Amino acid sequence: MSAPNPSGWQPTMGDADYADEGFVTASGDRGLLLEEALSFEIGSAEKCGVDLIEPEHEPADALAPFLRKHAPDLPGLTEPEAVRHYSRLSRLNYGIDLGPFPLGSCTMKHNPRLNEKVARLPGFADVHPLQPTATVRGALEAMQELAHWLIELTGMAGVALSPKAGAHGELCGLLCIKAAHDDAGEMRDVILVPESAHGTNPATAAFAGYKVESIPATADGRVDLAALKEKLGPHVAGVMITNPNTCGLFERDMKAISDAVHAVGGYVYCDGANFNAIVGKVRPGDLGVDAMHINLHKTFSTPHGGGGPGSGPVVLSEALCPYGPLPFTERTDDGLVHLVEEDNADEFGHTKAFGRMTAFHGQMGMFTRALTYMLSHGADGLKQVAEDAVLNANYVLRQCEDLLEAPFGKAGPCMHEALFSDTNLPEGYSTLDIAKGLIDEGFHPMTVYFPLVVKGAMLVEPTETESRIGLDRFIASLRHVATRALNGDESLHAAPVLAPRRRLDETLAARKPVLVWKGEDSG
């Protein structure tokens, strides 16, 4: 059951006895994998790691109501204790600098350091949204250049840069659709959402005040065009479709879907989270798309997740451009891209904007990183990004489909994601066992149990930034874990056994999380 290994990489075997539960150390550490207590358990509120000088004067009377009645309940740590605490915690973490994130529909790819260097240049790193416009001309020019690239790559007419993330961009697109129907005096209250779309799509449609009707998928994992046409009518405002879809497949009937929706006066919203698979190869505007958000962190390599700043620009067709929120960037009759704001909206005839999505223009750091990525790759390089991402996903799919069920493997090549199922595993073994087993192998698990249309789904997205030798390492581990399950290896149910923590009760953790330290009796 071994897979071809063109790169020649060979796995090594560790000392299984050392990992046995019976081996206990006095410190609780395992070799150089150090156990770490909470900062509250290391220090105490009664001590302080620094010497604080007593104030020379009493605080002003106006500040008296704000004085603390009690000392803050924070642990006092020495500098070595603090540094070691966070250094040890960092070693328990997993990041893209350690290995791949094979998370389907997330594109957790490598962020080139060049992007970070440019984003830290003076004039980008220290720009403030309240600065006078005359002092940020360079930043605004960079935004216009980014807008030009986004418009060109998508074949659209304009772009709103201000939305902060994918779901925020979805809301922006739907508000544009709503504004267009309101302007035409039409009362449409239904958005159609295929089963293979991202889960945020129906949630965003409902948030925007629409009723959501689901469109089933065909046996090969794509939108059922006939079922969609049956639901079309004057009550339908539009369709939200993910292309490539969440099953990792390109919607071959996309143009026919757009034509059918347009025929009844509706608009087509495309979830662009998977644009990474088609950038430089397909322009959504040519397929009849009217609005699409683009997750800059997914396609154009900017930081992803962690609660930090995001960016989800929304490109619009000529039909929806008049309703784009301010500030807005669009191509005018002179062929140039112009930045439209409140003070020049009349000049550019942009008088039907539905309003603003945010107070300011958007996230400058994300814009700078994305533009750096585009300029360093060029149009041909971005095309290769899509080609390599699709190549890598199909490599994973074909190397593992003999061990793990590939529900759409016979439907032809996949796009950026390889989708597997646990339906062929023996009774008692599931996707969760495969995911936990991968942790013992040193890999972050893939997306599990999504999309919902596939039982026990395992969605693997290797991205274009993974080399063949890196893919071979991952494939070897995935095959090893799958073989353990197929052979009825009971020890797999205990995985992970080599991680800092064993398998957790995830249901209990989600329903009764302990988020605040209250001492040893907090549970």
Question: pLDDT (tens digit, 9 = 90+) per residue, 170-213?
Answer: 999 999 999 999 999 999 999 999 988 888 999 999 999 999 99
**Helix locations, 208-358, DSSP H:** 225-231, 254-263, 296-299
Q: Which two tokens stand for residue 334?
A: 């002179």
Residue 23: the pLDDT is 62
514 pLDDT more than 90: no
Same domain, 217 and 353: yes
pLDDT band at 303, cuts 50/70/90? confident
Query: Does a structural domain hold residue 43?
Result: yes
Same domain, 196 and 315: yes
The domain that contains 170 carries what CATH number? 3.40.640.10
Asked whether residue 97 is assigned to any structural domain, the reply reads no
Mean pLDDT, rounded, for 270-278: 95
**Among residues 370, 396, 428, which one ends one of the domains?**
370
Comparing CA positions, the residue from 128, 124, 106 lying closest to residue 116 is: 124
CA Rg, the chain, in Å?
A: 26
140, 261 in Cβ contact below 8 A? no
Choose among 195, 179, 149, 214: nearest CA to 370: 149
Instruction: Determine what percent of the chain falls in helix, strand and coil, rounding each to the nearest 5.
Output: 40, 10, 50
What's the rounded Cα separation, in Å, for the pair 179 and 353? 8
Could you tell me if 181 and 284 lie in one domain?
A: yes
145 and 79 in a common domain: no
- What DSSP element (H or E) covers 206? helix 200-207
Q: State the Cα–Cα distance between residues 419 and 295, nearest whole angstrom.
A: 22
Q: Which of 131, 140, 209 is nearest to 174 (CA)?
A: 209
Work out the widest C-alpha separation in the chain, in whole angstroms.
80
b/e per residue 69-96 (b: at least 16 CB within 10 A): eeeeeebbbeeeebeebeebeeeeeeee
User: Which two structure tokens, joined as six digits, stand for 279?
Assistant: 């950038």
Going by pLDDT thresholds of 50, 70 and 90, the confidence category of residue 501 is confident
Task: Give the lowest-confidence range in 25-34, 37-46, 165-174, 464-473.
Answer: 25-34
Residue 385 lies inside a defined structural domain of this protein: no
End-of-domain residue from the set 370, 400, 419: 370
SS3 388: helix
> Across the chain, what does the average pLDDT equal?
90
- Quick one: 87 and 218 in the same domain? no
Residues 275 and 334 in one domain: yes
Please tell me the number of Cα atoms within 13 Å of 24 on its side-chain side.
2
How far apart (Å, rounded) are the C-alpha atoms in residues 276 and 378? 15
Please say whether the dihedral angle defined by the alpha carbons of residues 343, 345, 346 and 348, taken in this order, is positive or negative. Answer: positive
pLDDT tens-digit map of 385-407: 999 999 999 999 999 999 999 99
Task: Give a yes or no: residue 256 inside a domain.
Answer: yes
**Integer Cα distance of 177 and 141 in angstroms:** 29
Residue 248 has pLDDT above 70, yes or no: yes
Distance CA 389, CA 462 (A): 7
Nearest to 209 by CA among 236, 195, 191: 191
65 and 159 housed in the same domain: no
What are the residues facing 190 on neighbouring strands? Answer: 211, 236
User: Quick check: is 417 in a domain?
Assistant: no
All residues at 6 or more sequence positions from 274 whose CB lies less than 8 Å from its CB, including other chains? 105, 107, 242, 243, 244, 245, 298, 415, 416, 417
415 domain-assigned: no
Cα–Cα distance, 299 to 390 (Å, whole number): 13
The pTM for the full model equals: 0.89
- Judge if 161 and 46 occupy the same domain: no
Q: What is the pLDDT of residues 279-294, one digit of tens each?
A: 999 999 999 999 999 9
In whole angstroms, give the CA distance from residue 272 to residue 315: 10
Instruction: Assess whether 62 and 186 both reside in one domain.
Output: no
In what order do the strands lie in the sheet containing 458-460?
A: 418-420, 458-460, 447-448
Q: Does any domain span residue 162?
A: yes
CB 350 within 8 A of CB 328: yes
CB 166 within 8 A of CB 366: no
Query: For residue 50, what are the domain limits?
Result: 37-91
DSSP character at residue 2? P
- 47-71 tens-digit pLDDT: 887 787 888 888 888 988 888 888 7
High-pLDDT (> 70) share of the chain, %: 93
Which residue shows structure tokens 């060049």? 114
Tell me: pLDDT of 160 over 80. yes
CB within 8 Å of 211: residues ≥ 6 apart: 189, 190, 191
What's the structural domain count of the chain? 2
Instruction: Say whether both 196 and 332 belong to one domain.
Output: yes
pLDDT at 17: 41
On whether the CB atoms of residues 147 and 159 are closer than 8 A, the answer is yes
Residues 361 and 246 in one domain: yes
CA 120 to chain centre: 23
For 329-357, the pLDDT digits (tens) are 888 777 677 888 888 888 888 899 999 99
Q: Are 319 and 267 in contact (CB under 8 A)?
A: yes
Residues 6 or more apart from 133 whose CB is under 8 A from it? 140
- 411 vs 218: CA distance, rounded Å: 11
Q: Is residue 506 a part of any domain in this protein?
A: no
**Same domain for 165 and 280:** yes
